[in-house]
Structure formats: structure tokens, C-alpha cells
Structure 1
Amino acid sequence: MSFGGFGVAATSSASTAAQDYDVPPDVPDSISDISWSPTSNVLVAGSWDNYVRCWEVNHQQTQFQAIARAQIQHKAPVLCTAFSADGSTVFSGSCDKTAMMWQLGGPAQGQQIAQHDQPIRSIRFVPTANCVVTGSWDKTVKYWDTRAPQAQATVQLSDRVYALDVSYPLMVVATADKMIHCFDLTKPSQIFTAVKSNLKLQTRCIAAFPDASGFAIGSIEGRVAIQHVDEKQRAERDFAFKAHRDTQNSAVNPVSSVCFHTLPGKMATTGSDGSYTFWDKDARKMLRNFTKVYALQPNYQGISAGKFNAQGDIFAYATSYDWHKGAENYNQQARNVIRLHHVDQTDMTIKTKK
């Protein structure tokens, strides 16, 4: 089932996308992940040049000013980032097989808090349990007390971790075999249930519903699935739709990220086609489809990550190569830059047909 099939056309927003703000400075290599502080407009990004960078964002309506504050370095590309609940601490996972903790406001120095046997693909902080959870290509998730050198618990999974998200008490972990492992974090060492992805091809990203009843996943085939944890809801309410597909040349583009807004049911996806789109999953409607960044500037490239801030009035996205076509298609001249979009009421409103 597709969005947009209910008689309401999505609005293309060329002028609005053109006015999005470029966060200075550009990043030297591909941006793999971005995260917002839950308490302020502080943004961090992890990238393939081994760095985690931090910016403070000042925002007044459509006017932005982003100030680069500090950075720390891993020994290999950074694949994932997260914040503590109070916004004071940044966590990052890397291809160097470690996770680091960085106290903002102090020295720009990371402290190792986790270790895996393979790169760490996903990281989240769990406030209720006061722990950090990491998912790795070594086919495990591990829970860490940042004051202890050893994992509190390790759970073996069916395959490599490709994506992970938490909406307490739900944690969802997508693995390379297209399985979604669902955890009840009140019993973190046990897999509550394992659900097969409704999509045919490889999972690229996952986001847990804010109400912890299910999750949204995106795949390399340009499709998104809405799935529920409860078996009865699965049968009645699960569906999938096409996203980031170019109808003019029938191109299929990987969905690089999916995230939820503060308003119920509202969500965003980004794609390697260089576009981002807002949706209402409950109404099954596309809210707004924004102009591809290629059309705005030739040296922009695909979008590798996107996130709403805690207030829901800023959408940050990174223009970067996502490596889905291999190293041979990497363009050293293209820009790696985070852009900021002001989210207003019309962005999150279903358009009525005139």
C-alpha cells in the first residue's frame, strides 16, 4: 500500500528546501549519523574521517546560526551517535570496535566505555536503566554501565546489527538477515519476539514508535514498512509503501533514515536520491516532499541521515555519499554538509484537495 493513494497530492516545496541553512563548516568526509540533544539545540555528527563534531544552533523561525563548538576523534570511521537524557554527554560508536563517552562543556576528550569484536553500528542511551546499549556487526547487543569496563549483559543475535532504536520499554534491533529483534527493556537480556521484515530487501534504518507499539523500517529498495509488535495489530495495521523512487527514470534509491516527530504519527524519511519527505503514518498520507538537493546545488549529494530536534521545529539532514554504490562511486568533490530546515505547521498538516 502506498501513501498518496487516497486522493490527496503531496505538496512539493522547492522554495522552502532552497532556503534550508548550511551548517558551517563542511565536513571532510561522509557523514554517517547525526543526533540532537534532548534538552537544547545542540547537534552532533559522526563521520568517516573518524571525528564526532558538535554545534550549537540558534534558531528564530526560518533564521539559523550554527556555531562549531568542539570535536573528538576515534581511530576509525564513526558510524553512530547518541546523547544522554540530560544532554550533557555524547556517546559514539566506531569501526575501531569501541564506543566513547564525551562530556560536553569539559575537555574535548573521549573516554572509552565499550568494546566489541567488530565495528559498532548503533548506539543508544537508555535513561530509565541509566545504561548505554550498543549493537555491532559481531552479532551482539551489549549493555554498559559507563563506570565499569565490562558489559552488564550481552545478547547474541541471528546476524550483524544494521540498525537499532529505543522507545522505552521497547528496543528494536534490525539485523542483516532481515529480522527485527524486539526487546522489553524491563527484561533486557531476553529477546521478547523476533519479527521478519515486511520488506523484501536489506534493512537500512529503523525507528521505534514514540508510543513503543511498533517500528518503521526503511530498505535499500526504496520502501518503508510500518510494523507492530503485537501480533493482532500486525495483522490489522501493518503496511508498506514506496519512498525515494524516481518515477521519471524508475530509479530505486535506498532509504537512508527514518525518524519520528513530536506530533503523533508524523515522521520523516531521507534517501540517497537527495530528498527528504514528511509523512503521517496513521493517516497513511504523504505530507510534504521536498526538492532533491541535487537540484539546488550540483555538488550536493544524497542524504545519509535526518533527525528532528526535541522541540520538533528543526529537521537536520546530512548531504553525503552513503556508499550504497561502492567506493568506486565516491565523489571527492561533493560536499558533506549538515543542512537545517525550519519545520512549520504547514509541513505537518495534511493538505486538503481543492
Structure 2
Amino acid sequence: MSFLQASSTTSTSATTGQELINDITVNNPPEDTVSDLSFSPQQDLLAVASWDKKVRIYEIDPSSGNNQGRALYEHAAPVFSTSWTFDGTKVVSGGADKQVKLFDIQSQQAQQIGAHDQPIKCVKYVECGSTNTPAVVSASWDKTLKYWDMRSPQPITTINLPERAYCMDTSQKLLVVGCAERHLAIIDLNNPQQIFKTTQSPLKYQTRTVACYPQGNGYAVGSIEGRCAIQYIDDAEQSKYGFSFKCHRKQPNATTSTTSAIRGSTSNESHAYAVNSIAFHPVFGTFSTAGSDGTFCYWDKDAKQRLKSFPGLDQTITATTFNRTGTIFAYALGYDWSQGYMGNRPDYPNQIKLHAVKEEEIKQKKKR
């Protein structure tokens, strides 16, 4: 069955496992856990950052799912983050070697464009101010955020963060950094030299992932205890529309892998798993969550509704992303060390899967 046919088959029960059976496996995956996935905004090229110290770029045929390696470059230590320039000609990355690197797709050359005093946890490409000045922004465990203009080894600006950076996302003129001790730093890229607002995550435990809404008016936060919070920049919008919900939880006696719905679980006892990745759909503005329980789900924040839950995969999902048209959902399976070194079996898979997104899975449902 082809990739497109798989996307048009009728929906079967999530508990059967049939829905993911046609998901395409990416050839020649990384040799260690995938830390980040990023699709080009211009074509179906997927950049993959891994603990094996490499960034790989794969070319994907959107109609068949066929894929092949297009490029590869290395860091001196595990790579934690990767992102594309808006024109799709370059990839940026950062990691434990404390370097920001820029890779040119055309020339296949990588160069260092920045550095921090501690490992770099996140990198993004942004456009700042009313003139949309391009820059690479990096956030580090050294508690700083730096902007780079890609031609100079000196940062344009350095901002002190409230704590170590754990995650970061951007959309429109919004940049949000999730830091240690549940701090969130919000930056308006119209005024990129300073933090617009610092706040605490409404979730009680450590922040694992953050994702900005496509409109740039808010963000979703995921934490290690299987919770997600829907947040807005505007205080009035926040008080009206903001909320948090449980997800990526398993009843210990359940035979199937399920997640509790937004409206809460019926049983008192459940095992909570980290929400490792949140990704917003570029067309419908709905979103996915994926976790250490090995499941991913699609949600509609405006209707406070779970749209679709998928069968469990018995491996942690470490990273996810949609392609620019929202027709492919890429997710990475690998070990996340949540079970300590004892859980790292030699046969634990490192895989990247491509799921053909059906419109009925991800589109908002009509109000009854």
C-alpha cells in the first residue's frame, strides 16, 4: 500500500495498531537517540539531530514516502537542536560541544557561527524587528540567549535567562524559552534585545517542551508529569481561554496503551509519562503531543478536545514535527534514559517514522 493510499484508508480502532502499520521507516537512521526533527519550510527535506554527534538531512517523496539521505555533517559532541532558515537553503544546529553551526545545503559545507560557555540546548532561525532582520538564536545551559547574524563570530545581542534553557520555539514575532525551575521567558521579536515577560509554568513539574501557536499569540507547554498547558500572551485571552490537561498517562492494569482525555481520567491511579514533544499543524492550528509512553495524540485546543489517539509503540517518542503542508507527521523512536542505564537494551530501536496525516484525524471537528 502506498503512502497516499495509507492516508486515505478509513479509520480503524486505535487499539488494533493498524493505523501505524503503513507508517514509513526512514532509511539509514542515526546510530543513537534522535534529539530533534525539523522539516524545511520550502520542500520535503527533514533535518535530524542526534546524540551520535551528527545532523542528517533526508529527502522525502511526499507521495510515496520513499526517502534517502541527502547530507550529513558533524559536531564534536551530541547535537540537541536543529532548525532551517526560512528560504530552506541552510540548516542551523547546536549541542553539547557548545557550538552553533550553519550548514549550506548547496555547498554541503558546515561552519561555526557562534558559541556558548555551556552546552546549547536549542537553536532557531528568526526574523527580528520591523525590517525582519534575519538571525540565528541559541539558548544554552549557561543561562543565556544569543542572537547571531551568521557572518560574525560575535553575538548581536546576549540576553540573560532566568535559568538554564531546556526548550524553545518561535512563531511570527513570538519567541518562548522554557527554562529550569519552571521559568518561561517570553520575547517579542519586534524588540528582541530584552525579555518581554517572565512567568512560571502553570504545570507543577519540570518543563520538557514548548510550542508556539501558528498565529504567534500563545504557546503550549509540556512537562515531565504528563500534562500540557495552553497559554496566551494577552492576559485577557489567558483568563478566558487558558487551561491545562492530563495526557500521556497509562492505567497500570490497562491492556492497551491509552491516554486520558482532556476532560480528565476516570481512574484515580495512573502512571504519568513525560510529554517530550508538541507540534502545531501548519494548516489547521491543531496540535500533536508525544511522550515517553510511546504514543502520540492529536488535539484541538479551541474545542478542548482530543481529536485522535494512536496505539502505543512500546518505545519512547523523543521528537516530532509536521512538514510544511501538514501532510506528513515525522516521529522519532529511541531511548530517553527515563528508566536509567538498565533500560538501555542493545536492541532498543533508533527509528524515524513518517505518518501520512489524514485530514479527518487532524482537522477541527464541527461543533455539534
TM-score in terms of structure 1 length = 0.91
Contact 2:286 2:364 in 1 (8 A): no
Contact 1:36 1:44 in 2 (8 A): yes
Cα distance in 2, alignment partners of residues 32 and 281 from structure 1: 26
Counterpart of 2:340 (choices 326, 338, 354) is: 326
Contact 1:11 1:288 in 2 (8 A): no
Counterpart of 1:342 (choices 356, 360, 367) is: 356
Contact 1:32 1:322 in 2 (8 A): no
Unmatched 5+ stretches in structure 1: 1-9, 295-300
Residue 161 and residue 11 in structure 1: after superposition, are their counterparts in 2 closer, same or farther (change >3 A)?
farther
1:122 alignment counterpart? 122
Equivalent residue letter for 1:321: Y
Equivalent residue letter for 2:93: S
1:219 aligns with 2:220: no
Counterpart of 2:188 (choices 184, 189, 193) is: 184
Q: How many residues align?
A: 336
Cα distance in 1, alignment partners of residues 283 and 44 from structure 2: 18
Give % identity.
40
Residues 215-254 of structure 1 aligned to structure 2 (within 5 Å): 215-249=219-253, 250-254=270-274
Question: SS of the counterpart of 1:235?
Answer: helix
1:112 aligns with 2:112: yes
Q: Deviations over 1:133-154 (max 9, x none)?
A: 0000000100001000100000
Contact 1:285 1:350 in 2 (8 A): no
Equivalent residue letter for 1:104: I
1:146 alignment counterpart? 150
CA deviation after TM superposition for structure 1 residue 308, in Å: 0.4
Question: SS of the counterpart of 2:181?
Answer: coil
Cα distance in 1, alignment partners of residues 191 and 364 from structure 2: 39
CA deviation after TM superposition for structure 1 residue 173, in Å: 0.7
CA deviation after TM superposition for structure 1 residue 59, in Å: 1.9
CA deviation after TM superposition for structure 1 residue 265, in Å: 3.4
TM-score in terms of structure 2 length = 0.88
CA deviation after TM superposition for structure 1 residue 27, in Å: 1.9
Question: SS of the counterpart of 2:66?
Answer: strand
2:262 alignment counterpart? none
Counterpart of 2:310 (choices 269, 275, 290) is: 290
Equivalent residue letter for 2:90: T
Contact 1:265 1:282 in 2 (8 A): no
1:3 alignment counterpart? none
1:156 aligns with 2:160: yes
Equivalent residue letter for 2:323: N
CA deviation after TM superposition for structure 1 residue 345, in Å: 1.2
Cα distance in 1, alignment partners of residues 357 and 99 from structure 2: 35
Residue 348 and residue 53 in structure 1: after superposition, are their counterparts in 2 closer, same or farther (change >3 A)?
same
Cα distance in 2, alignment partners of residues 280 and 353 from structure 1: 12
Q: Deviations over 1:276-322 (max 9, x none)?
A: 1111111111111111122xxxxxx2100000000000000000112
1:196 alignment counterpart? 200
Cα distance in 1, alignment partners of residues 160 and 227 from structure 2: 28
Cα distance in 2, alignment partners of residues 11 and 169 from structure 1: 40
CA deviation after TM superposition for structure 1 residue 324, in Å: 2.8
CA deviation after TM superposition for structure 1 residue 349, in Å: 3.8
CA deviation after TM superposition for structure 1 residue 352, in Å: 8.2
2:14 alignment counterpart? 12
Q: Deviations over 1:23-43 (max 9, x none)?
A: 011321111001000000000
1:27 aligns with 2:30: yes
Residues 31-50 of structure 1 aligned to structure 2 (within 5 Å): 31-50=34-53
CA deviation after TM superposition for structure 1 residue 215, in Å: 0.4
Residue 117 and residue 51 in structure 1: after superposition, are their counterparts in 2 closer, same or farther (change >3 A)?
same
Unmatched 5+ stretches in structure 2: 1-11, 254-269
1:6 alignment counterpart? none
